[in-house]
Amino acid sequence: MKLVFLGPPGIGKGTYARAVSKRYNIPHISTGDIFREEIKKNTELGRRIKGYVERGELVPDDIVIEVVKQRLRQPDCRKGFILDGFPRTIRQAEALDEIARVDLALNFVAPDEVIIERISGRRICTRCGAIYHIKFMPPKYVGVCDNCGGPLILRKDDRPEVVRHRLEIYREKFAPILDYYRRRKLLVDIDASEQAPQVIPKIIKVLETYFHSEET
Ligand code: AP5
């Protein structure tokens, strides 16, 4: 099951990918998570990309493609993977085609006001990366991760002025990616305007239908 999760910032790609990864036991590969981890550890890669990520700009293609290439070579990706946040440019999509054959690209769709409310209430665990929402998915104790007890923070790129910039970049760059997968008949739109417990079963249904019909 080789999947690509597409859609605007804050629509819930990471939330859904974590659920699908758990259900099918395939790795969830989020380029955003990888970059945030490198920045946190202050590695050479982290120092190179920090400015782009914190300003909400795209990291240069060569860097992102190399990171994904290395990750997809790991043995846990043999039976499948979920790519979250990649590809974001046609060059990245073409590079991905050379590395792996994507089975399906799921495109999550919701109105802007829904997305902005999700981003502004998001909190992430600095220790394990778990995702919460102060209203829709609150932790048991304010500011503390249910999984590992780590502190919850607002991401630097979730400040309102950076969110606006990320949404502009998304609108400017994303249509060609959707067309790329639509032309290959791999694109499935999923309405993500409902709460996550309603969206996740819709994703599972699409996957069961697609992969069941592949087997028969
Ligand atoms: P990345 O981390 O990929 O950010 P993004 O695509 O902007 O997506 P987000 O992580 O903001 O949102 P999400 O859709 O995963 O939503 P989430 O599940 O958290 O990238 C960050 C940066 O890294 C980029 O700006 C760029 O600089 C760089 N980068 C990464 N990949 C790159 C690439 N390929 N090329 C170049 N640069 C790259 O959910 C959001 C909130 O809503 C949460 O609080 C959640 O609890 C809540 N929520 C989720 N679903 C629902 C629901 N259905 N109902 C109610 N609440 C919900």
Cα distance between residue 193 and residue 203, in whole Å: 13
126 domain-assigned: no
Closest residue to atom 54 of ligand 1, CA basis:
195
β-bridge mates for residue 84, sequence order = 5, 30
125 domain-assigned: no
43 domain-assigned: yes
* 126 C-alpha to ligand 1 centroid (Å): 15
What confidence score (pLDDT) does residue 90 get? 94
Report the catalytic residues. 13, 88, 122, 155, 166
The CATH number covering residue 98 comes to 3.40.50.300
* Residue 34 structural domain: 2-112+170-215
pTM of the model: 0.93
pLDDT in tens, 128-137: 989 999 999 9
58 domain-assigned: yes
The secondary structure of 172-196 as a DSSP string is: HHHHHHHHHHHHTT-EEEEE--S-H
What confidence score (pLDDT) does residue 154 get? 92
With residue 202 as reference, give the H or E element that holds it.
Answer: helix 196-215
15 lines ligand 1 (CB under 6 A): yes
54 domain-assigned: yes
What confidence score (pLDDT) does residue 173 get? 83
Of 131, 134, 169, which is best to mutate to test ligand 1, by the most ligand atoms within 8 angstroms of its C-beta? 131
- Helix spans in 25-155 (H): 31-41, 44-55, 61-72, 90-99, 112-120
197 domain-assigned: yes
Regions in the chain scoring below 50 on pLDDT: none
What confidence score (pLDDT) does residue 211 get? 86
What confidence score (pLDDT) does residue 216 get? 57
With residue 122 as reference, give the H or E element that holds it.
Answer: strand 122-125
146 domain-assigned: no
When divided into structural domains, the chain yields a total of 1
145 domain-assigned: no
Whether the bond into 87 is cis, omega within 30 of 0: yes
Closest residue to atom 7 of ligand 1, CA basis:
9
